[in-house]
Amino acid sequence: MYRYDQIDRDIVADRCAEFRAQVARRLSGELSEDQFKPLRLMNGLYLQLHAYMLRIAIPYGSLNSAKLHRLAHVARTWDRGYGHFTTRTNLQLHWIRLKDAPDILDSLAEVGLHAIQTSGNTIRNITSDPYAGAVADEVDDPRVWTEALRQWSTVHPEFSYLPRKFKIAVTASARDRTAVRVYDIGLKLRRNRDGALGFGVLVGGGLGRTPILGQTIREHLPAQHLLSYVAAILRVYNRHGRRDNIHKARIKVLVQSLGAEEFGRQVEAEWRAMDHAAVDLPDDELARIRGAFGAPAFEARPARSAAFEAAKAADPAFARFARRNVVAHKQAGYALVNIALKTPGEVPGDCSADQMDAIAELAARFSFDEVRLTYAQNLVLPHVALDDVPAVHARLAEIGLATPNLDLASDIIACPGLDYCALANARAIPIAQQIAARFADPELAEDVGELKIKISGCINACGHHHVGHIGILGVDKRGEEFYQLTLGGEADGDAAGDRSRLGDLLGPALPYARVAEAVEAVVGAYRRARAPGERFVDTYARVGLQPFKEAVYADAHPA
């Protein structure tokens, strides 16, 4: 895991000092709210319905126990004792006072955490594969490149006042766990026929009110030119992206209006004119960063663990957990243990300070001091010996986080919605809770199989509903909460290729009280129509909307 050196620490400390002075200037009235707003946003502070929200960056979703303990401490000391993990591997605290923010940031900085560029029209916290360094199918460690991008993009002088926010994801596996095609820039590490490492460069993906999947502008960018090429993309966007209309300001609109081919041509021209040596990291710095991500000191262990197998045989609940939440590791005798923050009845992505402390202790004891955050608002212990999985499971059960529902119907992505967010039209959290309750029976959930439900409380699509197998979008109809369902979305792929697609609208929006039963009806139609072994999205692709429409609207009467 990358550890900050003195330079990294100084930059975060200086940023904290800068923001403390800016808050003081705001509180004294020297800065207007208009002048202050971009400054607080680029330090992670939003003004929401009830209070300020602080969004803390977890670069490439990687935490150690000291950081997670500190997040717990901050949540306990300055917030209400819990935090909310997001799809973009940030942690949000929703009950912050502005005057406390500088002290919170100082406390975070002590362990190398910060909220730099988690909001505002900046290059945001960069996400990557939560399984990095632990699975066999990656072509290179994506964290090396993500860390290079993190440093390059931090307090970037040219790209701190972009037309709009800018999100980058890096993946190195055919099985994409980052939703790379819905990013402003999606980077897919691959090797070409000669074995040379490079990036497939996608641009212009994004959800929101204009959902679009990213398009490839470069099939194989030599890896060492990553930073200069990204700089060229940013420069073209910074100069030519629209600034007259906030809804048209994302890079996807520029890419759409120029066409991906012309946009790519402009990027190539800009890139060729750049001094690459000034921007790209030299080999020795890349080697320094790579060294920080070396494999942990794994022990030689047999591939099969007698303790693990015995626990499965003895305890059906553990067997189910092992089946659903435990993933094969590249190192024999080890596994990745997913911790779903999706206990039915709880808020998706929420984690209490006590739970954070307990997970931090598990990470320190059983996972080489590492915890990862995932796109699906869950956590992962990436390096657990199979022998230790029963102990980890037992402790997770004690803290209420052993639900064996990874990728199942109750493993729902939901934004904070109208319960917290000033932008929302409708609540997302209680909808998620109602749906999860209907699939709380683990037998039923496992029978239904992989089903990714994603809920957004407004068109900004923080819950990524467009790429949900079942997507749910809250809308406002004459002051009432209604919900549109979309089916068949996906943000994934495997060795057979990219399967990303946007969901299709099922039909008229449904009132709040009918959403959970409609989802149940959709699942019922799937179970009737599916072929053996077929996932929900595969059945949908085969049979289309009609059977689902009939199931949901059959007994509908006009509202």
Partner 1 sequence: MPTLIRLEGGRAVIAARDPFAEAPLDGPLPDGPAVLMPLARFQQQGPALLDEGLRIGVLLQPEEAVEDLAYDLPRLSMVALNLPKFRDGRAYSTAALLRQRYAFKGEVRAVGEVLREQAHLLARVGVDAFVFADGTTPEQLEAKLSLYRHVYQAASDARPPAWAERRS
Q: Does 278 bind partner 1 (CB under 8 A)?
A: yes
- Compute the least distance from the CB of residue 189 to partner 1, in Å: 21
d(CA 120, CA 46): 9
Identity of the residue, 243 or 395, whose beta carbon is nearer to partner 1 in the bound complex: 243
Q: Name the one range near partner 1 by CB under 8 A: 1-9, 473-481, 528-536, 539-547.
A: 1-9
* Residue 410 is a binding residue for partner 1 (CB under 8 A): no
Q: How far apart are CA 82 and CA 76, in angstroms?
A: 7
Element (H, E) at 298: none
Q: Which of 2, 159, 366, 375 binds partner 1 (CB under 8 A)?
A: 159
**Counting contacts by CB under 8 A, is residue 112 touching partner 1?**
no
Fill in the amino acid letter for 150. R
Structure tokens at 37: 């707003």
Q: Round to whole Å and give the CA distance between 160 and 158.
A: 6
β-pairing verdict for 197-203 and 185-191: antiparallel
Options 7-15, 43-51, 247-255, 547-555: segment touching partner 1 (CB under 8 A): 7-15
Minimum CB distance to partner 1, residue 231 (Å): 9
Residue 329 phi, psi dihedral angles, 5° rounding: -100, 155
Choice from 151, 210, 224, 256 touching partner 1 (CB under 8 A): 151
Q: Min. distance of Cβ 266 from partner 1 in angstroms? A: 12
Q: Confirm or reject binding of residue 262 to partner 1 (CB under 8 A).
A: no
Instruction: By CB under 8 A, tell whether 282 contacts partner 1.
Output: yes
Helical ranges in 191-259 per DSSP H: 226-240, 251-258
CB-nearer residue toward partner 1: 147 or 538: 147
59 touches partner 1 (CB under 8 A): no
DSSP state of 372: E
Q: Using CB under 8 A, pick the residue from 62, 117, 154, 434 that binds partner 1.
A: 154
- Comparing CA positions, the residue from 127, 120, 185 lying closest to residue 156 is 120
Tell which one of 56, 58, 75, 162 touches partner 1 (CB under 8 A).
Answer: 162
With CA atoms as reference, report the closest residue to 228 among 253, 199, 206.
199
**Chosen residue from 28, 33, 157, 496 binding partner 1 by CB under 8 A:** 157
Rule CB under 8 A: is residue 38 a binding residue for partner 1? yes
Please work out the total of residues on this chain that contact partner 1, with binding judged by CB under 8 A: 41
Binding of partner 1 at residue 528 (CB under 8 A)? no
Structure tokens at 281: 């990291």
Contacts of 170 (CB under 8 A, 6+ apart): 60, 126, 127, 128, 129, 142, 145, 146, 149, 178, 180, 187, 189
Q: What residues form DSSP beta bridges with 555?
A: none
Does residue 316 come out as left (phi exceeding 0), alpha (psi in the -120 to 50 range) or beta?
A: alpha
Is residue 77 part of the contact set for partner 1 (CB under 8 A)? Answer: no
**Residues in the site for partner 1, rule: CB under 8 A?**
5, 7-8, 10-11, 14-15, 17-18, 22, 31, 35, 38-39, 121, 151-152, 154-163, 235, 238-239, 243, 273-275, 278-279, 281-282, 284-285, 288
